[in-house]
Structure 1
Amino acid sequence: MSGAVGREAVFPTRQSLGLMKSKLKGAETGHSLLKRKSEALTKRFREITRRIDEAKRKMGRMMQIAAFSLAEVTYAVGGDIGYQVQESAKQARFRVQAKQDNVSGVLLPQFESVIATGSNDFGLTGLGKGGQQVQRCRETYSRAVETLVELASLQTAFVMLDEVIKVVNRRVNAIEHIIIPRTENTIKYINTELDELDREEFYRLKKVSNKKQRDSAAQDAEMLAKRQAEDNKENEPAKAVIDQPADILGQEDEDVIF
């Protein structure tokens, strides 16, 4: 796998080697951090998935109970009371607040239901008959809406986490299978080139040293030859004096008359 990603186009120098090593260390650190982030997000994602399943099951039961409760109200009152509720409602009693939850740097929205206390605009609805069923139906639908808000919060967090986990996993895979192998190949290439340069430098220095030794030996031989030549020149006159016969009388070689 590492051979298929190639290497970066850099000059094989010591500085480039240091930069590539720093880059490799940073990539490994980033890979480790992103891996931990992915694991944390995946754990939260699984937890949210489990809670969504429970909330949907709970939502089904609550809506079933609410539907039966509404049927009881319709039977007890003798008709639809929806218009009465709409006429008497002046302000929202059930409200939703939004906040954020930080999970490994990812902000997930959370919705909370808030029920205003002391606000009961349609408290007189069903005063003639069916008042108990109306109150029970209102409480049942309030719990159903609370479950719906919880489900909406979980579903929103589920969608956002799904997208974030995909992005983080793509980054982790890119660092693990592309950036780190490419950087390692670049470091190997730089080390190979530097070793080759060192071998060339060693060979050059060896050749220069051999040439210096040869030149020094030639100079020594030349100096020795000159010294021997000078010694030979100095010894030649002395030999000539020794070879010539000495004149005992100190006179020229003439005929002597006895």
Structure 2
Amino acid sequence: MASTQITPTRMELTRTKKKLATARRGHKLLKDKRDELMRQFLDLARENMELRQKVEAGILSANKNFVIARAGMDAATLNTALMAPKQEVNLEVGKKNVMSVNIPVFESKTRTADANDIYSYGFAFTSSDLDGAVKSLADILPDMLKLAETEKACQLMAAEIEKTRRRVNALEHVIIPEAQETIKYITMKLDENERSSQIRLMKVKDMMLEDAHHYSERA
């Protein structure tokens, strides 16, 4: 119901109609944004699922190789081999704007370009299983970073979808109906005032005609 505190004037009616038109435009834009966010979110969710399966499979394979390597080497040799890493990975974090959502973009760079720098040990006293485990972890690193990127993107987009959904619902179920009710209320009041004015004018006219008639009879 429209608030009884609203002043039923033509200026207020014009202002409320403008508010309603703006709310309807905003509602359409937010619905389009919500739908596009949902589409991109579903694409990201599918990509995230594929990456997670790939990363989990890679980590499982690396763990198996480490278990085999540990079985074929004594603990002291294994710990010494992995004690001082030779390669270094630097992570740069950027941002990408998708439908007003700042999605992180990860880019990794190694300290050197030599692929063999991932091995921090000599090959004389270590097993090939350890080489395979280290190589499998190095190979899965880009996918791990991409997985972290997509998971964070999914979280941010899900939060934006929920916020947009609440705004759409507020416009659709609260603001637009209230504006429509207000317009209806003001229009009804203005019509009542106009009818009352017409009735008063008709009564004044009748009184004037009656006075004129009595005046003519006395004359």
Which residue number corresponds to residue 237 of structure 1? none
Alignment-derived partner of residue 239 in structure 1: none
Give 3-state SS (helix, strand or coil) of 2:97's partner.
strand
Tell me if 1:113 matches 2:108.
yes
Q: Which has the higher helix share?
A: 2
Instruction: Rate the CA distance shift 1:128–1:77 in 2: closer, same or farther, 3 A.
Output: farther
1:195 and 2:194 equivalent?
no
Q: Give the SS at the match of 2:83.
A: helix
User: Partner of 1:137 in structure 2?
Assistant: 133
Which residue identity is paired with 1:93?
E
Residues 119 and 134 in structure 2, CA contact (< 8 A), matched pair in contact too:
no
Q: Is the 8 A contact 1:66 1:144 kept in 2?
A: no
Give, as a single letter, the amino acid of the residue that structure 2 aligns with 1:95: N
Paired with 1:41 and 1:23, the residues of 2 have a C-alpha distance of 26
SS in 1 for 2:102: strand
**Identity fraction in percent:** 28
Is the 8 Å Cα contact of residues 118 and 134 (structure 2) preserved in structure 1? no
Structure 1 position 94 matched with structure 2 position 89: yes
Once superposed, which parts of structure 1, at least 4 consecutive aligned residues long, lie more than 4 Å away? 75-80, 119-124, 129-135
* Distance in 1 of aligned mates of 2:7 and 2:134: 76
Match of 1:25 among 21, 28, 34: 21
CA drift at 1:75: 5.4
Unaligned 5+ segments in structure 2 are: none
Structure 1 residue identity aligned to 2:81 = Q
Q: 3-state DSSP class of the match of 1:10?
A: coil
Contact 1:93–1:115, Cα closer than 8 Å, also in 2: yes
Q: What CA deviation, in whole Å up to 9, does each residue of 1:38-84 have, x standing for no partner?
A: 11111121112111211111012111221233345445655552433
Is the contact between residue 118 and residue 135 of structure 2 (CA under 8 Å) also seen in structure 1?
no
- Give the structure-1-normalised TM-score: 0.75
Counterpart of 1:103? 98
* Equivalence for 1:85: 82
1:137 CA displacement: 3.0
Q: Residue 191 of structure 1: CA displacement?
A: 0.4
Q: SS state of the match for residue 37, structure 1? A: helix
**In 2, Cα distance between the equivalents of 1:138 and 1:126?**
13
Q: Do residues 52 (structure 1) and 48 (structure 2) align?
A: yes
Task: Give CA deviations for 1:178-232 in whole Å, capped at 9, x if unaligned.
Answer: 1111110110000000000000011111111111222222233333xxxxxxxxx
Matched-pair contact (CA < 8 Å) for 1:125–1:134: no
Q: Partner of 2:122: helix, strand, or coil?
A: coil
Match in the other structure for 2:150: 154
Structure 1: unaligned runs, 5 residues or longer: 1-5, 224-258
Q: 1:49/1:122 Cα in 2 relative to 1: closer, same or farther (>3 Å)?
A: closer
Choose the corresponding residue for 1:68, options 64, 68, 84: 64
Return the letter of the residue paired with 1:162: A
Which structure's CA Rg is the greater one?
A: 1
CA 48–81 in structure 1, closer or farther in 2 if over 3 Å, else same: same
Counterpart residue number, 1:7? 2
Superposition RMSD in Å? 2.3
Equivalent residue number for residue 177 of structure 2: 181
Task: Give the count of matched residue pairs.
Answer: 216
Deviation at 1:135, TM superposition (A): 4.3
